[in-house]
Amino acid sequence: MDYEQVIAKIYEEVKPFWGQGKVADYIPALAEVNPRQYGIAVQTLKGDTYQVGDAGTRFSIQSISKVFTLAMVTRHLGDEIWKSVGREPSGNPFNSLVQLEHEQGIPRNPFINAGALVVTDRLISLYDRPKDAILEFVRGICGNDDIYYDKHIAQSEREHADRNLALAYFMKSFGNIKNDVETLVDVYCHQCAIAMNCIDLARAFLFLTDRGLNPYQQEQILTVSQAKRLGALMLTCGFYDESGDFAFRAGMPGKSGVGGGVVAYIPGNLSIAVWSPELNQHGNSLIGMETLERFTTDINNSIF
């Protein structure tokens, strides 16, 4: 399969979608991003990399980071984490408080903000220097030591974290947050502000593509079963209240972020990352979602 030709074709087909979405503006620093950017990177398990457009431009990965922190916690706690967070699609926006009241402070899944806060809370309990640990993990799985937090984004997120603080304090009232809430939200804002490009992100998902094995360090990060279950969660919950539609259209497990990044993979084959900052009504990259649907259609391959 000539992936380079496939993504070059899609790139030209989808560029006219510029202007149909809207850059995230509830975090002021994200609103500063030039909306007319678009990159695609494909990474195969054989070691081949294909890229087009702005695939080398760094951006804040935002909620894509939730996959990495969940992997870090799962490898230590195993199924213990599922006592504190559910595994069902929420059907609500990523920052909703609605379900927490009815469900006694147990978030519906680890990819909505409430669930991700619980996961990061457990990570803080596991690591003395959690922010350093997150960076070290991400650098290891993408084979690039030049990965850092975007301090401007992190500060902007922290200054506008009222909703996340409310979620964390509310869950703490149910006993589901163990650590200091201010510390928790600071770590969470930093993990969301990790700056990566499409090439780094596609490579960072190879350990899931290879069923838990990090090809860069030849380390089994997750068991085969854990990797399978993380993929299942991404398929059903990775795109907020658009997850079902993405599974229907693209047929891959993946994760999005309000920075405009989307990453997905086909187990045993490849991972693909797309970045375009304009979001659709669900908070997912409009061009990214369109790109991934066309990609699996054009290569005639998905998980189904």
Per the structure block, which two tokens stand in for 236? 């059903």
How far apart CA 100 and CA 112 sit, in angstroms, is 11
**CA separation, residue 288 to residues 11, 39, 130, 254, 263 (Å):** 10, 9, 30, 11, 9
For the question of residue 240 being annotated catalytic, the response is yes
Per the structure block, which two tokens stand in for 57? 């431009």
Choose, from 188, 262, 265, 276, the residue flagged as catalytic: 188
Choose, from 240, 262, 263, 302, the residue flagged as catalytic: 240
Residues contacting residue 239 through CB under 8 Å, at least 6 positions apart: 245, 246, 254, 255, 256, 282, 284, 289
Angle at 66 between CA 62 and CA 68, to 5 degrees: 110
Q: Can you tell me whether residue 270 is helix, strand or coil?
A: strand
Residues contacting residue 296 through CB under 8 Å, at least 6 positions apart: 250, 251, 252, 266, 302
For the question of residue 127 being annotated catalytic, the response is no
Choose, from 60, 63, 271, 276, the residue flagged as catalytic: 63
Q: CA dihedral in degrees (247, 1, 230, 216; nearest 10)?
A: -160
For the question of residue 156 being annotated catalytic, the response is no
Choose, from 67, 258, 262, 263, the residue flagged as catalytic: 258
For the question of residue 125 being annotated catalytic, the response is no
Residue 22 is given by DSSP the state: E
Choose, from 6, 52, 66, 263, the residue flagged as catalytic: 66
Amino acid at position 174, single letter: F
For the question of residue 63 being annotated catalytic, the response is yes
What amino acid positions are annotated as catalytic residues? 63, 66, 188, 240, 258
